[in-house]
Each structure stands twice: as structure tokens, then as C-alpha cells.
Structure 1
Amino acid sequence: MEPHLIFMDIDGTLVDNHQNISKKTKKVINHLQELGHLFYVATGRKFSSAATIANTLSPQTQVVASNGSIYSIHSQLVKHQLSKEALILIYNAVSEIAMPIFFFGEHTVFYTEELPEYFTKSDQARITNESEKEFVAIRSLSDLIDHHKEIINGIIISETDLEGLHSLKDKLEDSQLLSVSSSHFNNIELIPKGVNKATAILAIQDKLMIPSERVISFGDGINDIEMLEATGISVAMGNAQGKVKAAATYVTDSNLDDGIANFLQNHFQLTHF
């Protein structure tokens, strides 16, 4: 069988609510890797966090991180970054309404305001690794500019002012200095201009010379829609939002019910799992 190129979102897709990959999913993916199929995680997480999940599958699993801003092709790392002009715009726009911003490097989280409890506790495994310099406070625009060469992408989160968040998203989109998306109703994902998961996938597909009919993607969030629309075989998880399911050619079981493994088992006609 000719090799397929397979991309999997992480949160809500590959892992469960405790950041674990099920035994069945890992077993099916590892078997297909042994047969020569190529697997990527494709996520909004920063690179080092995504790489940690990829390595729990196998050393051969590759990474698309920061919503397509950084990705690996074999040993080569391709990186796109938010421009200094985009960072200044973001900081000034958000300062007017005092929402927290988080900027991500390959290994570091830069934050304004105060670091929320959920970042230091329940989301710890998702955003950082124990061996890293974890968090750096940004207290002024000058601080941000000092670190601008380290920053790849970012996210704005509001648990209370959803109307203000919506208006801010429109303003940032209209600037034409960056791309914006959302993985959840309460956030704005800040991405380098012209970049998303789909642009990374198309570049990888072109480099590896694998046709669209042999490219599969799995996702559950709004920021997965471009990816699903760009791949020949697109699969929404059973727990995905309606818009995401409408963008996919197939819907599988939820991330808590081995959705990835069940689809791959059926698609590749695997009988011994």
C-alpha cells in the first residue's frame, strides 16, 4: 500500500481529557507507521509541548505546531513568526480592554496581566515542559519588543467579556497584519499572516510528494476547519462542533471513544485490533 500522510489535532482529538492517548489508538497508529504511513500531530500548542505528545506515540511522529506557524519535515524545522508590527498592534489593542495575552516561543510562554490558575495547574502539561524556562512576564510594550524575535504565535483569552473579544477579533482581522482563528468561543488565536494548519500541511504534502487522495486529517475545533478542507480525506471527531463536522467528509467517534483508531482501522481494513 502506498504511504498516506496523516495529521491529527491533539486536544479533543488525539488525547482524552487527562492528556492521555488510548492504548488502542497508539497501537493502531504504531502499526500503520510500521507499514510506512507518515503521522503528524497538528495543533495550536507550542512546538515543545506538541513534540512531547508526538514522542509518546513514537520518535517517528512529526509535528505541526502553533497552528501551522512551525513544523518539521524530517530533521528540518520550518518557522513563521508574528511580525514586530503585528505584536505592537496586538499589545496596544488589548491594553485598551485589559484582556490577558499569551505569546508562545518554541519553549517559552510570555504573558501579560497575571498568570491564571488554570495555566499553572490544569493546563500545565499542555503548555509547558518541566525542563523548560516556563513563563516570562511581559509588563510593557518595551518588554514585548525585547522578546519579539522569540515569539511565534499567541492567544487572547477572556472568560467574561465575550462581546469585547468578538470586537477585538474583528479589529485584528481588519488590520491585515496577522491571521486570527479560534479553538474555543472564549479565545482568539494569533497567527502569522497567511499561516494556518492547512498551509503547513500543503507545504509538507508538496515536499513529500504525496497526493491529496492519500492525505488524512482529524480535528474537532474551529481552528481545524482549514485543515479539514485542505485534505483529501477529512475526519471530524464525534465531539466536534457542527461547523467542523460540516467541513469534513467523514465523522468518526469521539476522542473518548477511540475515534481516530476506529476510523483508521476501518479505512485501512485492519482486522486484528
Structure 2
Amino acid sequence: MQKTIVFFDIDGTILNEDKVIPESTKTAIRLLQEKGIHTAIATGRVPKMFYWILKELNIDSYVAMNGQYVVFEGQEIYSNPIDSDILQSLSAMTSSNGHALAYCSHLDYKVSEPNHPFIESSFDSLMMAYPEVDPKYFKRWSIYQGHLYCEAQYEQMYAERFPEFSFVKWHDYAYDILPKGASKAVGIQKMLEALEMKMEHSYAFGDGLNDLEMLSTVGTGVAMGNAVPEAKAIANLVTTSNCNDGILHGLIQLGLLEEELAVN
């Protein structure tokens, strides 16, 4: 029997605008699992941010922090930490500019500044509390991803100063900080190697700028109806939105689930 796997982004994909999992998505993923189809998360989030989703969906494999940390069936199979000396330089620059950072390890995430308006606005959009502050967190733990909190006009300045990084926007005032070449697609490749599966038998659902490499690399990429235009342009299929049973409808369109399961 041919192995198949489906990867799901979280924000704007699994979660609706209220940051909850629609019942249709829970049903769809359960039915995939009952058919023997592997299911996995592929997200920019730190694992701590989505443990509750793994539990609710009975998923134990994930690509976290945009491909920087990969777990297959509960076991770490790939990690790519960022050089702490570069993070030291970046921290000094953001502090002098009145900006802020978040440091993401495989266990937790901390921010560099208290009561920073851009951090507050970004985490409000996730419906999450302001993170704990620890400006030296990166000195004690391996960091796989950072967040830069600044106005859009400053992003290019950081990109020119730190060419070894990619800065991927996920909020008006927030950017994921990743080593050049890192992406969900890299993490997915690591998981497929663990599964001994060809890329052509993989599927992925996503909606954001950090999903572009994933959607264009997997065998079949599916953009949500609420996705950014760039994701829709690169995907093989565009389904309905995350608030309109997009995952269920997309899986039916792909032929991975039966049409009679469609939600009216």
C-alpha cells in the first residue's frame, strides 16, 4: 500500500478566525487517520504553542518553526540551531533601535523587552498572552527561530545587516527570523526521508507567505480560500476558507475523502 501524508499549517488553516479548530477539520483529519493516511503539522509556531492542537487532533509528527525543528512520531529527527554570536549582534541592534526580539527554542519562547507595543499587537492577533521576558534566553538554549518586532520600513535595514537571515512577515509588526534556505519544505523533506516516502505522495494545506516553499515543493499544494495571493498563485488547488470548512472541502477535491462527507 502506497504511503501518503498530508501536512497542515495552523494559523489561517487548521484554526479559524476565533483560533479554534472547526468540527469539520477535526472530522476530516480523523477520517484521514482511519484510512491510514499520515497527518502532520507544518507551522511557524514553537511546539509549546500547539501542543493542545496535537492532542486534540491525535497528531504526533510536526515540522515546527518553519522547518527548523522536526519531530516524527514523537521523536526529534532534525534540528538546525542559529549561531548565538549572530543573535547577540542582532539583539544589540534591535535594542538600540527600540525594537524587540523573540527567541524560540524547541521547548519555549521568550522575548527581549517588556510591554513592547509590537509584541503585544502580534500576540493579540494570535489570541495569546504576552510572553515571558528573558533577553539572555538565547545564551542558555539552542534557538531555532527568532521573531523581529519592528515597523515595516525597518525590515530592509535588518535584511541588509544580516544577509544570513531571511525575514518572513507574519504580522504588521512581526517577522520570522530564519537562516537563509530554511523553510517548511526543508523540514518536510526530512520527515519524508524518515517515512521513506517520495515527495510526490505528499500534500500540504497553507495560507501564508511562510507556506510558499511548502506548497510549491510537496506533490500537491492546497491554498486556503483566505490565503495570500502569492499562495493561491503557487498552489495546485485553492479550497474554501478556514472559516468555511476549507480543509474538509480540499481533501474531498483531492479525492482523499469521499464527497458525501461535504458540509453544506
With the length of structure 1 as denominator, give the TM-score of the two structures. Answer: 0.85
Aligned partner of 2:259 in structure 1 is: 271
Q: Indicate how the Cα distance of structure 1 residues 41 and 86 shifts in structure 2: closer, same or farther if over 3 A, else same.
A: same
The 1:124–1:269 alpha-carbon spacing in structure 2 relative to 1, beyond 3 Å, is closer
The equivalent of 1:168 in structure 2 is 158
AA aligned to 1:271 is: E
The partner residue of 2:134 within 118, 137, 155 is 137
Secondary structure of 2:186's counterpart equals: helix
Alignment partner, residue 68 of structure 1: 67
Per the alignment, in what secondary structure is the counterpart of residue 182 of structure 1? strand
Q: Which amino acid aligns with 1:72?
A: V
1:211 corresponds in structure 2 to 198
Confirm or deny that 1:223 pairs with 2:210.
yes
Give the superposition deviation at 1:171. 2.7
TM-fit CA distance, 1:195: 2.1
Counterpart for residue 250 of structure 1: 237
- Runs of 4 or more, structure 1, over 4 Å off, are 118-122
Identity fraction in percent: 28
Matched with 2:91 is 91
2:50 counterpart SS class: helix
Structure 1 contact 50–65 (Cα < 8 Å) conserved: no
Q: 1:219 to 1:170 in 2, by over 3 A?
A: farther
- Give the CA RMSD over aligned residues: 2.3
Where 1:183 maps in the other structure, the secondary structure is strand
Determine the structure 2 residue equivalent to 1:24: 24
Q: How does 1:92-111 map to 2 (within 5 A)?
A: 92-111=92-111
On the 8 A contact 2:202/2:220 being kept in 1, the answer is: yes
Which residue of the partner structure matches residue 144 of structure 2?
152
CA distance in 2, matches of 1:29, 1:145: 36
Task: Output aligned runs, 1:230-249, within 5 Å.
Answer: 230-249=217-236
* Secondary structure class of the residue paired with 2:70: strand
For 1:152, give the aligned amino acid.
Y
The alignment of Structure 1 onto Structure 2 pairs a total of residues equal to 256
State the distance in 2 between where 1:180 and 1:252 align: 28
C-alpha contact (below 8 Å) 2:122/2:173 kept by paired residues: no
Query: SS of the residue aligned with 2:133?
Result: strand
Greater mean deviation of Cα atoms: 70-79 or 183-192: 183-192
Gap regions ≥5 residues in structure 1:
129-133
Q: Which amino acid in the other structure matches residue 233 of structure 1?
A: T
Aligned residue for 1:257, secondary structure, equals coil
Q: Tell me the CA shift for residue 266 of structure 1.
A: 2.5
Rounded Cα–Cα distance in structure 2 between residues aligned with 1:243 and 1:31: 30
Tell me the secondary structure at the aligned position of residue 230 of structure 2.
Answer: helix
In structure 2, how many angstroms separate the alpha carbons of the residues matched to 1:199 and 1:93?
A: 29
CA shift digits 1:35-81 (9 cap, x unpaired): 111111111110122232122111x3421111111111123213221
**SS of residue matched to 2:259:** coil
